[in-house]
Chain A
Amino acid sequence: MSSMSLFPQWIFEQGPAFLIVLPLLMGAVTAILPNRSMAWWVTFFVTLICTYTAFGLFQHIYFDGFLLYTMGGWAPPHGISLIVDGLSAPILLLISVMAMLTVIYALPSSISEIEPKKRAPFYAAFLICFAGLMGMVITGDAFNVFVFLEVSSISTYVLVAMGAARDRRSLAAAYNYLIMGSIGATFFVIGLGFLFMETGTLNMAEMSAILSELNGGTRVSKVGYGFIIVGLGLKIAMFPLHTWLPRAYAYAPTKITIFLASTATKAAIYLLLRFTFTVFDPSFDYIAVMLKYLIMGAAIVGMVLASFQAIFQSDVRRVLAYSSVAQVGYILLGIGIATSSGLAAGYLHLLNHAIIKGCLFISVGAFWYRFGITRVSDFSGLFKTMPLTMGAFTLGGLSLVGVPFTAGFVSKVKLILAAAEQEMWWAVLVIVFSSVLAIVYIGRIIIVAYFGSPPKINGSTFIKNEAPFMMLFPMWVLGLMSIAIGVNAFGIGDGFVSASEIAASVLLGGRG
């Protein structure tokens, strides 16, 4: 308990509920704040306090094991419980850190992207989305998952549509996302209905106990799992269900793209893990079949096809969006392998990808902030006009490809080893092939930026126009973070690896 002195005792007693309640309440308060810069300060402090709390809980998991918080003192299975364990704690920390960095970035970018009178409601919607994501990850009640999923999704539709001030296509993108997202959430709730029919409970731990007693249950729970996986697949942007993602990422306000790319799909992947391995069990024959053919199949096809699509995009934000679909494929491949090394590799790639994509989207956002354009050809000579931004983009890009000494390399090697362990040589081949495609689509941008000539004024000089500090700070934090994981500086790399191994052991054998 020695390291606990950093954190007051209430964090361990009330922290789990605090993580949801604080942003929800402050979201309502922020919406009616008259002063615009006040809204930013409130949002910043909320995310800062949540990061601190999440870090306290994260530490607690490694010293004292998992935390079970009973809402209102009602014991499970009747009451609603919140669970912080080796699986959820890293994701909670990831979401709150990314929210904080996004808010830092949002201060300068709001000036050009959001109309002044809409800024306070914007931050309110952001906080509610953040609360929804935290709730999805922390709750131990299956219906609660649906409610928080919808809380975060509905506020996301609003946030995406706020890009309309910049690009009117964001309205159609938000509408499309709303239709697909609602269908996904409804499929998920149908699946829960079937599970409730089979087990008569909504508590995840209780469901899991009853299902394993029934040895997987009847056709009802099989159908339920099918609905759940399609519903979550839509939220994850699993390959054939990803069509909403590129448009939503490309036309949303840049800070929302950053936040969505690094947290929303990750929280949904967490739910997929939670349902597949904790509520259900991979030892049920239908789950094993689903993992082997559906999840792994979608992963493989997505990794290759989405990477190809990324190569042929002309807008950098769409390149990165398609690359996100491909990277989700890597994570799903690790999950599909379903051994402890495969799960650990998938989980590690989940964390790494959030950091890498955050860094890349912040750099692109900073470029948009200065020049208002994001086509690949517009990146010409960017290394001369915005050296620091392009430096961070390069770090992120190399990490995405999986160059040695970067985060992407660590998780890809682990994934290859996990596949090789199961003698899935075709999977190894696909991972390498998809990485080669990543070299093409990232390389294309970097080559233009380094060797292209910057736009000139009066035919001779070019403007050096670096991004403001508030944007450089989060992008370099994430860029250096990915290098720190790659070279294991200060033990950060080992910390990530051991977090992913603990998560895998939680998934495969009860609570860790």
Chain B
Amino acid sequence: MSSLILDQYNYAVVIILMMTGLYVVFASRNLIKKLVGLSVFQTSVFLLYITIGKVSGGQPPIVESHGTDHVNSETTLFASIGELESVVQSSSGVLYSNPLPHVLILTAIVVGVATLAIGLSLVVRVREVYGTIEEDKIEEYDRIYYKEIIERQ
């Protein structure tokens, strides 16, 4: 059992981060703390993807030019992915890690940053309007505020 965890400690880290983040989102009533939890939760997914991209014993996936027929100059343009693959396979004997998850995670990081930016700017607006960033107080203020409006009509 312990060897299983040691062998796959990366997954353990992912799970711990994921659960921590999710717990913070649901347990805290402070708007900023919730966003922090959300960020931790999203970061754990980045780690998950990067973990699955690693091939044990794999090299960084960079095709070096060996002066072969396939790679003529530094600015080689591959006509198709198929041709690229044949080049990769031709430099045989070398095992590469999978580069795709890293690319995906670059996109996901951008998405995460955008979400966080929108979230924080919403919190700024909430602070301007309500003067607090505690959810309980916001709900209480709203209850009082809209009760008065209805009574006035």
Residues in chain A within 8 A of chain B (CB atoms): 74-75, 78-79, 143, 146-147, 150, 154, 157-158, 161, 164, 168-169, 171-172, 174-175, 178-179, 182-183, 185-186, 189-190, 193, 196-197, 202, 373
Contact = CB atoms under 8 A, between A and B. Distances in A.
A146 B105 CA distance: 12
Nearest to B116: A182
B122 A175 contact: yes
A178 B107 contact: no
Given A150-B115, A178-B118, A196-B101, A190 B138 contact: no
Closest 4 CB pairs of A and B: A78-B81, A150-B111, A175-B122, A171-B126
Contact of B118 (A143, A154, A185, A196): A154
Given A183-B22, A186-B41, A172 B138 contact: yes
Contact of B31 (A75, A146, A157, A175): A175
A174 B129 CA distance: 14
Nearest to B42: A186
Give chain B's interface residue range (CB within 8 Å of chain A): 35 or more
B108 interface: yes
Nearest to B146: A169
A171 B115 contact: no
A174 B31 CA distance: 12
B52 A197 contact: yes
Contacts of B22: 183
Contact of A154 (B34, B45, B114, B145): B114
B29 interface: no
B102 to A, nearest CB: 13
Interface of B: 22, 25, 31, 34, 38, 41-42, 45, 48-49, 52, 80-81, 100-101, 104, 107-108, 111, 114-115, 118-119, 122-123, 125-126, 129-130, 135, 138-139, 142, 145-146, 153
Contacts of A147: 107, 111
Given A143-B104, A143-B107, A186-B41, 5 more contacts: A146-B108, A161-B125, A168-B142, A172-B126, A172-B138
**Binding site of B, secondary structure by majority: helix, strand, loop or mixed?**
helix
B41 A193 contact: no
6 contacts: A143-B107, A178-B122, A189-B108, A193-B52, A193-B101, A373-B153
A221 to B, nearest CB: 14
Contacts of B101: 193, 196
Given A179-B34, A182-B42, A169 B142 contact: yes
B57 to A, nearest CB: 18
Nearest to B125: A171
Given A190-B45, A190-B48, A161 B122 contact: yes
Contact of B81 (A79, A172, A178): A79
B129 A196 contact: no
Contacts of A150: 111, 114-115
A117 to B, nearest CB: 16
A373 B152 CA distance: 14
A402 to B, nearest CB: 34
Nearest to A160: B122
A175 to B, nearest CB: 5
A371 to B, nearest CB: 11
Contacts of B42: 182, 186
B98 to A, nearest CB: 8
Contacts of A74: 80-81
A172 B142 contact: yes
Nearest to A167: B146
A454 B45 CA distance: 56
